[in-house]
Structure 1
Amino acid sequence: MLRKLVPGIVNTSVLISVGLEATAREVAVAMATHRVAAVLVMDGKRLKGIVTERDITCRVVAAGRNPAATRVDEIMTVDPHTLPPEATASTALDLMQTRGFRHLPIVDGERVVAMVSMRDLHRAMHEQLSRDLQDRDEYIHGENYGAA
């Protein structure tokens, strides 16, 4: 799929982030409030890490840590992989499948402009496949179907 990540796949208006001093509980509340599965960890305007639902589950809950006392910088993925806005959906999907993660920050220079999720990519692929099938059916069964 050759669609660009921004603006073709992801919404650039909703980015949920926390500072390095946030707790795991605050991150979980932000995820629940905004109905997202990952948040960016920022130091001012610089991306420092990412925290996902899986991080909260595995690094806090399963480890028996106190969410209110566990700082985000103790559980985040430091310096996550990123892609530029002009990267294609297939590039993002390949990277995410190869590396085994479901959320990927999109960075333009030093500025985070979006976050793409596996769900975003699956939705885009489904839309593209639906369009391709419709185009195929119109080609096969178009007005001139069967005309000699």
Structure 2
Amino acid sequence: MKSIVRDAVVSAAPSTSLADIAQLMADETVGSVVIVDGERPQGIVTDRDIALATAAHGTDPESATAADVMSDDIVTVDADSGIFEVLRAMTEANVRRIPATDADGDLAGIVTFDDFVVLLGRELKLLGEVVEAEIPLYEHT
């Protein structure tokens, strides 16, 4: 799985304001921030979490913190997990992003559903090239 684990994870402390989390997302062009205590994942805040908290519930983004809105029942996978194990964990937890941890439980990366879509696209392209190399050419009329 290491081929699709993004090791550059955008993270912040639980005390970070929602305004700062939103700015971090904008600066880093990401839709989620992993909330860490030290190096250990504690939760995730998504752009949707911020939108719902502020627009739907009227939460002040300057005074509310990541800890106030984060999904704190975080599911992680070992950075050495296989692809199917990660997909199973994502499916069972009904999440599109899952942090990967090292042997010490520290944040080592993140895998997103989009990463799997890109991987599948690459694999299908390679399969198509193999098939094309094996079939005779035909003319279009």
Bin of the TM-score, shorter chain as denominator length: 0.7 to 0.9
Counterpart-to-counterpart distance in 1, 2:50 and 2:89: 23
Q: Which amino acid in structure 1 is aligned with residue 93 of structure 2?
A: R
The residue that corresponds to 2:22 in the other structure is: 28
- Work out whether 1:116 is the aligned partner of 2:116: no
Unaligned runs of 5+ in 2: none
Q: How does 1:79-94 map to 2 (within 5 A)?
A: 79-94=73-88
* Identity percentage of aligned residues: 24
- Work out whether 1:58 is the aligned partner of 2:52: yes
Q: How does 1:1-148 map to 2 (within 5 A)?
A: 4=1, 6=2, 8-12=3-7, 14-109=8-103, 110-141=105-136
Q: Which moved more, 1:59-68 or 1:112-121?
A: 59-68
Q: How far did 1:70 drift?
A: 0.7
Q: Which moved more, 1:94-103 or 1:57-66?
A: 94-103
In the alignment, is the contact (CA less than 8 A) between 1:61 and 1:67 conserved in 2?
A: no
In the alignment, is the contact (CA less than 8 A) between 2:77 and 2:89 conserved in 1?
A: no
Name the TM-score, length of structure 1 as normaliser: 0.83
Q: Which aligned runs of 4 or more in structure 1 are off by greater than 6 angstroms?
A: none
Name the TM-score, length of structure 2 as normaliser: 0.87
SS in 2 for 1:78: coil
RMSD of aligned alpha carbons:
1.7
Counterpart-to-counterpart distance in 1, 2:38 and 2:93: 27
In the alignment, is the contact (CA less than 8 A) between 1:60 and 1:70 conserved in 2?
A: no
Unaligned runs of 5+ in 1: 143-148
In the alignment, is the contact (CA less than 8 A) between 1:47 and 1:112 conserved in 2?
A: yes
